[in-house]
Structure 1
Amino acid sequence: MNRHHPSKPALVSPVPWTDSFLFEFHGVALASRASPSVALLNATRYTSKTRSSWHWFLIHDPIAVDLLISTRDGGTLMTVFVLVHGAWHGMWAWDRVTPLLHQAGARTVMPTLTLDGDAGLHLHADEVVAALDGLAGDRDQARGAADDVILVGHSYAGLVVRQAADLRPHLVSHIVLFDGWAGGDGHSLFDLAPDSLVTAARAAAEARGGGTTVPAPPPGAFGITDSADAAWLADRLIPQPLRTFTEPTRLTGAVDKIPGTGVYCRPMTYPFDRFADELGYRSIPLDAPHNVMLSHPEAVARLLLQAADDLDYENEKLER
């Protein structure tokens, strides 16, 4: 990332009720902040939530900022998003989101969940745990400060990321669910889903999946109606092992101590708002289809970066 700025911006106005200042540089808004996270994305204005260790952030488009990283005690800190795809998908589900996060200076890790054979939810949770352990190992090898890790799950992966976080609570700073299935210990996706979904999935598995895999629904089932997007998605969807829907989660309660955000898409297909509320997560509505990463990647990136910014603000309050 480029830390060079040719001249100092001019102060426009203080915003005392938010402990913030607004600046203007060549007609573009800037904001002061001191965090290892990213600024809220706004093409015209951003108010930071911090007071000390000023850094300049040039907001050059509605999605990204020029500068992300600040330093503490000589260590470089960064927000890392671990992005976990939902059923019938692969890591490609985040293809339109990751460039926006990278442009903002964040790092992304995308575990691929095994969809061969009789894979189940526990295997998928272990694969996410392996990704978290890998991040921790990289940090230890570099002897650097701990990055903030935000664990993100879409749809079915809501169950996966919560079990993974329960196994490694010390490695996860925040959980974000996009239309995520989520429940308590012992709940499977089929336990949470309405009877109509369970019946349809089992029937499809029996008719076209040898009784062990659930064929992928058409793109319209994910809310994708644009013809080009639908064709792109249809070429990539793959069958999902039935066991991933029937295997119950194993939770000790450790995950419930990790703060979370639940984004639910409207119009709702399933009660994803209720799942988030019951977990005590902050609920955020988003007018978008279920496969929001494909249809609204900018909105997904904006919400993820806002979660990172809010997390950093909470961390700084604890440090004061």
Structure 2
Amino acid sequence: MKTLPRLLSFVAAVLLAGSIAVHADDHAASRSAAAPQKLTFVLVHGATAGGYEWKKTGRHLEEAGHTVYRVTLTALGERSHLSAENVNLTTHINDVVNTILFEDLHDVVLTGHSYGGMVITGVMDRIPERIRHVFYFDAVVPDDGKSMFDMFGNAEQPDRVVKNGRWIPPWLNENPTTYPHNVGHPIGTLTEPVSYKDPAALALNVTYVPFVQDPATADENSGMLPGWKRAKARGWTIRPYRGSHVAMLETPAGLAELILAAVDDRNTTVD
């Protein structure tokens, strides 16, 4: 008769252990489901600038546990010592594409500011399979086969200043004394048309973020760059953000918050 109590004790111990294991698995699954996603960002700057303009926003993203690559395009920023004579849009697209390929990045959140919209459009067309989501920050939204100058109707400007292959905009200080600072922009990048026709690129989810004075009253006629209407026509998500054309330098934490809140935006169907 002593065997029965021992058997019952054994069965009870097995059931208890199973219950503990089940609860442990449930707890682990719950923690896994609640864990925030870790993302990989590739941030692209605008004309005459460098990767430094994304430094503060990038730091906030890194502090949230994400991985950030701030690409500086050829002949700009800390790479301004390189010649601009033979640099074109393809060069800058290659700067970003090769960062993604050689770092073996996948599910990339790709962002572009201002002229950077030209660059990321070309990147989308080249390697759409590596990209998870795209952000255009007050950026050019080009059509296929158009250049930067084509998009703004200023392909021919007799008073344009070009030195050593660099466009020198009127507002640029050619003799800065502090760092970081803007530099002349490779003129070839502004005259070469971009390709944007790969069906996989056209299907990528995109968020267009115009920088405006008042997001509550902003509409498609707001913002410095006329990309809003094209973004709307493509079914992209539009999220106006308060700030000047360099809002990432003014409120980097707020912009990082917007990025993380919008990274799962989905395009809408356009009739």
Q: Secondary structure at the match of 1:304?
A: helix
| Residue correspondence of structure 1 range 162-311 to structure 2 within 5 A | 162-195=121-154, 203-206=159-162, 209-210=163-164, 212-218=165-171, 235-253=180-198, 254-267=200-213, 268-308=223-263, 310=264
Are the counterparts in 2 of residues 214 and 242 from structure 1 also a CA contact under 8 Å?
yes
Deviations 1:147-195 (A, max 9, x none): 5310000011111111112111110011101011022210111111144
Q: CA deviation at 1:117?
A: 2.4
Gaps of at least 5 residues in structure 1 are 1-51, 58-66, 70-77, 140-146, 221-229, 315-320
Aligned partners of 1:54 and 1:84: how far apart in 2? 34
Structure number with the higher strand fraction is 1
Aligned-residue offset at 1:300: 1.5
Identify unmatched segments of 5+ residues in structure 2. 1-28, 76-83, 214-222, 267-271
Bigger radius of gyration = 2
Pairing of 1:86-125 with structure 2 (within 5 A)? 86-115=46-75, 116-125=84-93
Rounded to whole Å, the distance in 2 between the matches of 1:108 and 1:173 is: 14
SS in 1 for 2:112: strand
Q: What is the root-mean-square deviation of aligned Cα atoms in Å?
A: 2.7
Partner of 1:41: none
Pairwise CA distance, 1:232: 6.4
Q: State the 4+ residue runs in structure 1 displaced beyond 3 angstroms.
A: 52-57, 216-220, 230-233
| CA shift for structure 1 position 219 | 7.5
User: Is the 1:87–1:240 contact (alpha carbons within 8 Å) kept by the matching residues of 2?
Assistant: yes
Deviation at 1:56, TM superposition (A): 9.0
Normalising by structure 1, we get a TM-score of 0.61
CA distance in 1, matches of 2:260, 2:178: 26
Distance of 2:230 and 2:251 partners within structure 1: 22
TM, length-normalised to structure 2: 0.72
User: Do the aligned residues in 2 keep the contact of 1:181 with 1:275 (CA within 8 Å)?
Assistant: no
Matched residue SS, 1:81: strand
Instruction: Provide the aligned length of Structure 1 versus Structure 2.
Output: 218
